[in-house]
Structure 1
Amino acid sequence: MTRATLDKQPHEVATMFDDVAANYDLTNDVLSLGQDRRWRKEVAKAVDARPAQKVLDLAAGTGTSSLPFAATGAYVVPCDFSLGMLREGKKKHGWLPLTAGDGTKLPFRDEVFDAVTISFGLRNIQDTEAALRELYRVTKPGGRVVICEFSHATWAPFRKVYEEYLIRALPPIARAVSSNPDAYVYLAESIQTWPDQPALAALMQKAGWSKVAWRNLSGGIVAMHRGFKA
């Protein structure tokens, strides 16, 4: 079994996701108690993809997260650095232009996309600031970014319950449904060490994004940040 460490070495993270690719979508559905579907609907609304627009879906995994954008008539490029995820995606969504790429060195020209988005993947990239700069680089002037990521519950009693779930309940559930339960121990730890909502907004502004704002989902255990390229 493979799990990444919290210094997030790219080869470790990629191998870890290769190991969970087969059951990834099902596992996420179970561990989030079905909430991941609602979160992705909110992301689709925020991205607001339009026909003929170009959308980059970074850390797209198997490409399931890209389907709502494609349904609008936009040209969506699902990109991920886990080849195992991309192979699984080819089986499920072979018509999507699934693309291998490193979030800190994206394989795209400057100012290509009308919108860029990443859901539950930014915290797995070793250099967060480099990834935010790369997303900015490939976005057209006037374009937008939407980041959906696990964050920190805003109500202290709920935050304590949620942290207990991450530490005590998530690992045994993962053992029942995941092909690599150790990977979900890393995921739980990475959520706890991730910057809170204002700190991530500050990193986005530092990378060049303007009009940065966020909205909490599910009491803040997930936060959706949005910004624009002037």
Structure 2
Amino acid sequence: MSRAGLDKNPREVAAMFDGVARRYDLTNTVLSFGQDRRWRNVTRRVLAPKRDEKVLDLAAGSGVSTVEFARSGAYCVAADFSLGMLSVGKARGVPMVAADALRLPFADGAFDAVTISFGLRNLVDTGAGLREMLRVVRPGGRLVVCEFSTPTWQPFRTVYMNYLMRALPPIARAVSSNPDAYVYLAESIRSWPDQRKLGELIAESGWTDVTWRNLTSGAVAVHSALKPR
């Protein structure tokens, strides 16, 4: 099985996620000490999907988050470029589409909201992905990004960064179907911009009213923004 590099070649990233698909959700729960459920709940509350709205859940993996969003009565579409991930989630009962985040197969303004959780970091061109999300959302529509970030308290930041590089790979070897992929995970988190820099990138991509909320002392951040009317 493969792991991607920090050049984030799309073929390598897709193959890597195909390799971790079978036990991906379980591995995430173990590695996050169960915090992944809380992160999804907060993301859902920030997104606030409404009945009959159309919501795009991008980099949705097996559709765990899509199912939660759909409980609101919104029409939620799970999109991912890993066929392995989509295959694992095919029984979840939500629409699933194989899609490249940089060339989405949807019309302009097709959705009321778009959300991406722990997937923006994997795009080869973050700005292009954010602009493509902007394209498929209607004027006044919403963006919510849940992504790993930079802990705000220095002592915790030190412990956290050491955990990523030292403890995470051995734990992944015990529970993941492709533990080498989690070496990439650790490296990509360490190289990812902090909360403010990501907020600036979102704004530069055309979104307005950018705000964020720190979770788990900033190890994860939920950014939200609006498309100009």
Bin the TM-score by the shorter chain.
over 0.9
Which residue pairs with 1:190 in the alignment? 188
CA distance in 1, matches of 2:33, 2:69: 24
Deviations 1:101-140 (A, max 9, x none): 0011111000011110000000001100000000100001
The alignment yields a C-alpha RMSD, in angstroms, of 0.6
Q: Give the TM-score taking structure 2 as reference length.
A: 0.99
Displacement of 1:96 in angstroms is 1.2
**Is 1:158 matched with 2:156?**
yes
User: Tell me, what secondary structure is at the counterpart of 1:181?
Assistant: coil
CA distance in 2, matches of 1:183, 1:68: 26
Displacement of 1:67 in angstroms is 1.1
Which residue pairs with 2:213 in the alignment? 215
Aligned match for 1:120, one of 113, 118, 121? 118
User: Tell me, what secondary structure is at the counterpart of 1:214?
Assistant: strand
Structure 1 residue ranges (4+ consecutive) displaced by more than 3 angstroms after TM superposition: none
Instruction: Determine what percentage of the aligned residue pairs are the same residue.
Output: 62
CA distance in 2, matches of 1:138, 1:26: 31
Aligned match for 1:169, one of 167, 170, 174? 167
Which residue pairs with 1:100 in the alignment? 98
User: Tell me, what secondary structure is at the counterpart of 1:21?
Assistant: helix
| Structure 2 unaligned spans of 5+ | none
CA distance in 2, matches of 1:211, 1:204: 10
Displacement of 1:68 in angstroms is 1.4
CA distance in 2, matches of 1:41, 1:85: 21
User: Tell me, what secondary structure is at the counterpart of 2:224?
Assistant: strand
Deviations 1:66-100 (A, max 9, x none): 0111101000000000000011111x31x211100
- Corresponding letter in the other structure for 1:18: D
Displacement of 1:173 in angstroms is 0.3
Displacement of 1:154 in angstroms is 0.4
Which residue pairs with 1:149 in the alignment? 147
- Taking the TM superposition and a 5 Å limit, the aligned residue runs for 1:48-87 are 48-87=48-87
CA distance in 2, matches of 1:217, 1:29: 16
CA distance in 2, matches of 1:37, 1:140: 29
User: Tell me, what secondary structure is at the counterpart of 2:73?
Assistant: coil
Count, aligned residues: 228
- Corresponding letter in the other structure for 2:44: A
Which residue pairs with 1:42 in the alignment? 42
CA distance in 2, matches of 1:165, 1:207: 32
CA distance in 2, matches of 1:146, 1:136: 11
- Corresponding letter in the other structure for 2:202: M
| Structure 1 unaligned spans of 5+ | none
Displacement of 1:65 in angstroms is 1.0
User: Tell me, what secondary structure is at the counterpart of 1:143?
Assistant: strand
